Amino acid sequence: MPETTPDLSAIETKLTAARTRLILDKPFLGALVLRLPLRAATGDWCRTTATDARAFYYDPAYIDALSLEQTQFMLAHEALHCALSHFARRGHRQRHRWDLACDYAINPLLIEDGLTPPPNTLVMPLYRGLTAEEIYPLIDERDDSETLDTHAYDRDERRGGSRQHPDETPQRPESLSADERERLAVQWRQRLAGAAQQALQAGKLAGELARQIDHLLQPSLPWRMLLARHLTAIAREDYSYQRPSRREGEFILPGLRGQQAELVVAIDTSGSIQDGELSAFIGEIDALKGQIRARITLLPCDRVLAPEAPFQFEPWETFTRPERLQGGGGTSFSPVFDWIDRQDRQPDLLVYFTDAQGEFPEREPSYPVIWLVKGRATVPWGQRIQLN
């Protein structure tokens, strides 16, 4: 239906009113929405709303059909895509599944915060409280659901967001370059931190949204670098001036002497760790192992150790994944620590790959423990390193 200037003006007034109500009622979301200029979309690439991390795009006819409360939801929806840097976190993931995962992550947060979703909003109780990275592997590759909006910050062979024509119109914003992604990710992280601080001071940020924001703003430690630092310190090679045997002569010359590191790697096989993540983790450990002399003992465990455990790898052997790793039950971390207690010597380091949702031993061991944690669960002791 052809649009007239008064109609577009009325739509702009409606969006401005919805944004103002967000600022008053939901200052955290309102502060983020204010960062997105409002732009009417031309052409048929945007059938609902969209964002490219630079602006809020909308189809006037769609906004006209929404209530004021539903309009607030759409404004906040696009702002959260930007604030959570969904445009910069996809990596090599398939775009359509990633777009679905992002919507599944955002929509429950907004509903719990009291906003009214429009029709066709993707909500799955199973995904409540999970990040987009955690939701992504749970989505069937053949899932052809449509997202509520168009994610216009990049493109792919699959159609993402509200279904757009394969013939891109000139009015559609250009996808982000690598430099733009990096710059906007830093910018939106700063905006997120500032909006969260103001809302917390006003007592208007709580619930799952507050927990997700706090998790996102926590610094993610470079676990590969940290692990390499630990292993290098353990297996440091140094010079020895010990007197050589008589067959080597009477001169005392410095000799290079290395210490072999004893490393125990435990893997949570309760079902929370995906197959690809496990293979990538083992590959990283093997790469680190190749830089130093390290003997690795692998202990797969859910509530009990895997029947074939332990799997042991000498310094000259490749650290590979066993063909079969049983698991899928509940999680208890005690069997790993109990096994170590029964050995003749303690390891130089225990690395535990897990989601940290299980039963911990009551006492902290005397040897160092690093928890590589997928998810947001905490650990009672040891060093926790965020994986995702």
The residues spanned by each domain of the chain are 5-217, 223-386
Considering all CA atoms of the chain, what is the largest pairwise distance in Å, rounded to the nearest integer? 101
Q: What average pLDDT does this structure show over 101-116?
A: 93
d(CA 347, CA 33): 52
Q: What average pLDDT does this structure show over 187-194?
A: 87
Of residues 256 and 305, more confidently modeled: 305
| pLDDT band at residue 316 using 50, 70 and 90 as cut-offs | confident
For residue 51, pLDDT over 50 is answered with yes
Kindly report, residue by residue over 147-172, the tens digit of the pLDDT.
999 998 876 444 444 444 343 444 68
| pLDDT band at residue 386 using 50, 70 and 90 as cut-offs | confident
Q: How high is the pLDDT of residue 238?
A: 45
**Residue environment code for 29-56, b if the CB has 16+ CB neighbours within 10 A, otherwise e:** bbbbbbbbebbbbeeebbbbbbbbbbbb
Q: What average pLDDT does this structure show over 54-59?
A: 94
Q: What average pLDDT does this structure show over 233-257?
A: 49
Q: How high is the pLDDT of residue 53?
A: 93
Of residues 24 and 253, more confidently modeled: 24
CB–CB of 49/98 below 8 Å? no
Kindly report, residue by residue over 361-381, the tens digit of the pLDDT.
989 999 999 898 887 788 999
Q: How high is the pLDDT of residue 242?
A: 44
Burial (CB < 10 A; 0-12, 13-18, 19+), residue 142, is exposed
Burial (CB < 10 A; 0-12, 13-18, 19+), residue 73, is buried
Write down the mean pLDDT value for the chain: 81
CB–CB of 139/126 below 8 Å? no
In this structure, whether the domain defined by 223-386 belongs to CATH 3.90.550 is answered with: no
pTM score above 0.75 = no
Beta bridge partners of 143: none
